[in-house]
Amino acid sequence: MEKQTYHILVVDNEEVIRHSIKRALTREGYTVSEARNGRQALSVMAEQTFALVISDKNMPHMDGMALLEHVKKEYPMTEFIIITGHGSIEDAVDAMRKGAYDFITKPFKKEELLQLTQKALERYALTLENNRLKQELRAIQSDRYNFIGRSEAVRHIKSLITRIAPTPSNVLITGGSGTGKEVIARLIHNHSDRVDKGFTAINCGAISENLIESELFGHVRGSFTGAIRDKEGIFTVAGNGTLFLDEISTIPVNLQVKLLRVLEEHEVLPVGATKPLPVRARIIAATNRDLKEEIAAGRFREDLYFRLNVIEIDVPPLSERAEDIPLLVAYFIEKMNRDLNKNVQGATPEVLHTLQSYQWPGNVRELENVIERAMIFCDDTTLTVDHLPHFFADQNKEPVGLKDAVRFFERKHILSVLRITGGDKKEAARLLKVGVSSLYRKMSELGIEELPA
């Protein structure tokens, strides 16, 4: 914190005390003004912005308590320290209830005053930063393309949305699990001419292989055992709106041919039917896997890839756009205040630095979970590092002992592989050359929380 950038106002009717405080603060590099009483202080404050007011309680014309009430009403961000005598501690505590940062009793030591001043100004700086983030967040939320962030990657994605939204073209969104692929898909839909025609989302990976054909394409009664009535597939349910196919890479290869026909002919043939139905929905697909690697491994058709990938939006992992984290934290704090009935105003710089130093294998979704957990345990108005999960405190501390060093490396390596696979533990287990159950057991031993698959 640069002391010379903060202006302090000292208010006391005793000139000796006023000058003594000013001299001590000036020697520390602060810029200091003086006032003899509350009335004069308000006149001075009308001409100058102050980060901190240090005021005696007992003064003629307007005492410190009356000045405090005026300052907190007119200049709510300005911090306030009350100077009081031994006999008025109760009044000083009352002043804190009314918004004073703290109080100091006469006689006081210079070191005590300087320490309290530094802490008050740190809170002022934190308030300034959190207000700036809130203003920036409001500006982003008022934007047509509400994808939170200030990084070059986010600006590029918003630019793509501007071009893509008015068109009927297929879109492929790639990126790790939890990066916000569905948010982007919804933004494309919300700013297209289909906005009033519905957004339908389906996670292809969440449907069992023996049901996926019926879910996607529909079926007619009697086409297989248990088909007691006709069923519309998701392509026809989506109508003229937007259909979002998440985890597209999990569709079995034998059904990918049928999906390719849907995209090429804009019609779908339900299971057991002889007459195709028209498909009018716009298709947006997403995957957390590298489809070129899936093609090379024979798990995904190349012709389907090119048909889906008319326009591609690649969403980078959160670890590659750490500059977006302060805004995302502000956004999640605002959201959790509503959901959890809290009144958290922001996070300390230490919290933001800690979060920006983390690798985030679960991306934005993991960050949201961390902020929600932190706010549950926060009974104050500011998130501190004490509210974060314990592993954040130790993430940068390399151990000395051999056993601890092995655990440290194992944890770091598993997190790295999980980030590569987008949180897919089955794929991570394959890369690590261990069974899935062994991976789960190791994650539990090493304190790795569940990550989105």
CATH number for the domain spanning 367: value is 1.10.8.60
Please indicate, yes or no, if residue 61 is contained in any of the structural domains.
yes
pLDDT, position 453: 39
CA 267 vs CA 17, 172, 199, 220: distances in Å: 86, 20, 19, 16
At which residue do the structure tokens 């100004």 appear? 121
Q: Choose one of 316, 341, 374: the last residue of a domain.
A: 316
- How many CB atoms within 10 Å of residue 166? 11
In this structure, which long-range contacts are made by residues 83-92, counting pairs with CB atoms below 8 Å and at least 24 apart in sequence?
83/12, 83/17, 83/54, 83/55, 83/56, 83/57, 83/108, 84/56, 84/57, 84/58, 85/57, 85/58, 88/57, 88/58, 91/57, 91/65, 92/57
Please indicate, yes or no, if residue 205 is contained in any of the structural domains.
yes
Q: Choose one of 103, 138, 173: the last residue of a domain.
A: 138
Please indicate, yes or no, if residue 451 is contained in any of the structural domains.
no
Per-10-residue mean pLDDT for the chain, 453 residues long?
73 92 92 93 93 92 91 92 76 82 87 92 87 78 74 93 94 94 94 92 89 89 82 92 95 93 92 91 95 95 95 94 93 92 90 88 92 92 88 60 71 79 82 83 72 43
pLDDT tens for each residue of 119-170:
999 889 888 888 888 887 776 666 566 789 989 999 999 999 999 999 999 9
- For 263, the domain range is 152-316
pLDDT, position 397: 54
pLDDT, position 210: 82
* Domain count of the fold of the chain: 3
Give the pTM.
0.69
pLDDT, position 144: 60
pLDDT, position 444: 73
Please indicate, yes or no, if residue 25 is contained in any of the structural domains.
yes
Please indicate, yes or no, if residue 452 is contained in any of the structural domains.
no
Specify the CATH number for the domain of residue 263. 3.40.50.300
Are 129 and 231 members of one domain? no
Please indicate, yes or no, if residue 123 is contained in any of the structural domains.
yes
